[in-house]
C-alpha cells in the first residue's frame, strides 16, 4: 500500500505569545512533513496508470514532490514535441519507456529506455518522442 497522498505532520510547540501577544502558555503546531519512505510507483504499469499517453500530445503529471526535489512523469505520444524551454533548477531526465530525441546545448541525444541525462539550471532544451515514451524528470532544488 502506498503512502502517496496521505498527510503527515511533525508536532512541535511554540509559546502562545506567538499567537495572542503575551501569554507564556504553549500551543501545539502541526507542520506538514513527508514520511521516511513513499512508494511512488510499484512498476512501469503503475506509473502508466497515473498518466496515460494521450494521442498527439505530451502529458505532464505531478508525480511526487519531496524535500529539495520534484518528480514529473511526462507521457509522450509518438512524434509529440515538448517545445524548447528551460527549468529554473538542475534536472535529471530518465527515459523509462520508449525513445526520445533530447536537444540541449547544441547536441541532440538519442535516448532510449534506461537513459539518464543531467541538465544544468536555465539551459534551454527540447524533447521529441521517436515513439510512444515515458520520461521521468527530477527537478533538483
DSSP 56: T
Query: Do 27 and 53 share a domain, yes or no?
Result: no
- Give the pLDDT score at 18: 46
For residue 51, the domain's CATH number is 2.60.120.10
In total, how many domains does the chain have?
2
| pTM of this structure | 0.77
Query: Do 61 and 17 share a domain, yes or no?
Result: no
- Give the pLDDT score at 7: 47
Q: What confidence tens digit (pLDDT) does each residue in 1-47 have?
A: 445 555 444 444 444 544 455 555 555 555 566 678 889 999 999 99
Query: Do 29 and 51 share a domain, yes or no?
Result: no
Query: Do 100 and 63 share a domain, yes or no?
Result: yes
Query: Do 20 and 51 share a domain, yes or no?
Result: no
- Give the pLDDT score at 14: 47
Query: Do 95 and 73 share a domain, yes or no?
Result: yes
Q: C-alpha cell of 39?
A: 512508494
Query: Do 103 and 132 share a domain, yes or no?
Result: yes
As a whole-number percent, the residues of the chain with pLDDT over 70 amount to 76
Query: Do 52 and 100 share a domain, yes or no?
Result: yes
The range of the structural domain enclosing residue 11 comes to 1-39
What does the pLDDT average to over 72-83? Answer: 98
- Give the pLDDT score at 103: 98
Tell me which of 100 and 18 has the higher pLDDT: 100
Query: Do 58 and 113 share a domain, yes or no?
Result: yes
Instruction: Return d(Cα 101, Cα 130) in angstroms, integer.
Output: 7
Query: Do 15 and 65 share a domain, yes or no?
Result: no
Query: Do 2 and 58 share a domain, yes or no?
Result: no
Burial of 101 (0-12, 13-18, 19+ CB in 10 A): middle
Amino acid at each position: 500500500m502506498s503512502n502517496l497522498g496521505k498527510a503527515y505532520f511533525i508536532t512541535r510547540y511554540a509559546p502562545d505569545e506567538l499567537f495572542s501577544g503575551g501569554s507564556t502558555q504553549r500551543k501545539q503546531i502541526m507542520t506538514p512533513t513527508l514520511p521516511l519512505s513513499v512508494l511512488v510507483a510499484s512498476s512501469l504499469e503503475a506509473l502508466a496508470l497515473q498518466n496515460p499517453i494521450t494521442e498527439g500530445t505530451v502529458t505532464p503529471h505531478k508525480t511526487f514532490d519531496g524535500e529539495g526535489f520534484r518528480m514529473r512523469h511526462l507521457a509522450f505520444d509518438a512524434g509529440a514535441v515538448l517545445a524548447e524551454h528551460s527549468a529554473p533548477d538542475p534536472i535529471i531526465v530518465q527515459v523509462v519507456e520508449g525513445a526520445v530525441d533530447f536537444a540541449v546545448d547544441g547536441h541532440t541525444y538519442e535516448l532510449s529506455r534506461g537513459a539518464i541525462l543531467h541538465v544544468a539550471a536555465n539551459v534551454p532544451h527540447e524533447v521529441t518522442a521517436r515513439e510512444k515514451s515515458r520520461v521521468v524528470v527530477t527537478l533538483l532544488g
